[in-house]
Amino acid sequence: MTHVGIVGAGTIGLTIAWRCAQRGMSVDVHDPAPGSGASTVAAGMLAPVGEAHYGERDLLELSLTSCALWPRFAAELGVDIGYRENGSLLVALDAGDRAELDRRHDFHRELGLPATRLTAGETRRREPLLSPRISGGLHAGGDHQVDPRRLHTALLDAAVTAGARLVRRHVADPSTVDADVVVIAAGSHSGPMLSAAIRPVQGQVLRLRGPADLGTVVRATVNGNPVYALPRADGEVVIGATSAERGFDLTPRAGDAYELLRDAIAVIPELAEYELREHTVGLRPGTLDNAPLLGRTGDPRVIAATGHYRNGILLAPVTGELISELIATGRTPEALEPFDPRRF
């Protein structure tokens, strides 16, 4: 029986642990503080196109594959993880924003994804809490959402139920892990263990609570700053997210909270009345080309599963599927080839 040691019990490490244990492998997950990384800070948007940038074609393909796996993945976990398929609303304030929505609409159609361009009136009919300043919108029907904290708890339960063991220890060097195969899934802390350039990209989010009358995920750009409001069924609204390169700094900054609230309230004025519950900071694991490192490394015993940057929640199902297949068969699935950790 193959013995797998996984370093990191975030969304990625636990998904791989679950899938490997289901395939009959013996699995240890090493982490001194499971859930202390980006996975429990993330908003939980599953937005393959909303997060896609021109020129990131391979990443878009992987994201679309993962998005398609999400319904079965969520159902298989068997508990409520807040998975919802209610799309997202991209809204425009000025003429420049409307031109950007037109470009996004073309991109959605090119990919054959459901997207509807809306007038100002149609946009506000879909989401009555939007500001009267909104001048147009785009409904992206292929975007979904999940609650990453519920997801993390469910994955830990599923992995342990399938037979994986949690070992509460910090791993400084993969050579100290007693296993046939070692998977590095330590998020923004993976770099030194892989001799790879993983950079922490700080993101701050706010969690508000209100009367649960905001119906859909709203994304906008206000004076050049992207902002989103992601409502959950229980009345929580996540406002995000900042993006800054400040090393491993996890300080929540007043100025960042101010800017997020200012921009979110410009789009949805009612949010000013909501209770401010939380201000959290996480580190996205970024790579040189913004795509993950997935697969074999220079060390024949070590596999990388990290660098998921802005999309680790979205990419969890496909990462678990493909990395467990690589370990089970010894062959790199074709879909992993563009993400070879040795590509730089």
Ligand X SMILES: Cc1cc2nc3c(=O)[nH]c(=O)nc-3n(C[C@H](O)[C@H](O)[C@H](O)COP(=O)(O)OP(=O)(O)OC[C@H]3O[C@@H](n4cnc5c(N)ncnc54)[C@H](O)[C@@H]3O)c2cc1C
Q: Applying CB under 6 A, which residues contact ligand X?
A: 7-13, 30-31, 33-39, 41-45, 170-171, 185-189, 203, 205, 240-241, 282, 284-285, 306, 308-314
Least Cβ distance, residue 13 to ligand X (angstroms): 5
Least Cβ distance, residue 206 to ligand X (angstroms): 10
Least Cβ distance, residue 121 to ligand X (angstroms): 29
Least Cβ distance, residue 114 to ligand X (angstroms): 19
Least Cβ distance, residue 34 to ligand X (angstroms): 5
In the bound state with ligand X, the residue whose beta carbon lies nearer, of 271 and 323, is: 323
Label each residue of the chain as H, E or C.
Answer: CCEEEEECCCHHHHHHHHHHHHCCCEEEEECCCCCCCHHHCCCCEECCCCCCCCCCHHHHHHHHHHHHHHHHHHHHHCCCCCCECCCEEEEECCHHHHHHHHHHHHHHHHCCCCEEEECHHHHHHHCCCCCCCCCEEEEECCCEECCHHHHHHHHHHHHHHCCCEEECCCCCCHHHCCCCEEEECCHHHCHHHHCCCCEEEEEEEEEEECCCCCCCEEEEEECCEEEEEEECCCCEEEEECCCECECECCCCCHHHHHHHHHHHHHHCHHHHHCEEEEEEEEEEEECCCCCCEEEECCCCCEEEEECCHHHCCCCHHHHHHHHHHHHHHCCCCHHHHHHCCCCC
In the bound state with ligand X, the residue whose beta carbon lies nearer, of 7 and 64, is: 7
In the bound state with ligand X, the residue whose beta carbon lies nearer, of 86 and 135, is: 86
In the bound state with ligand X, the residue whose beta carbon lies nearer, of 102 and 259, is: 259
In the bound state with ligand X, the residue whose beta carbon lies nearer, of 15 and 117, is: 15
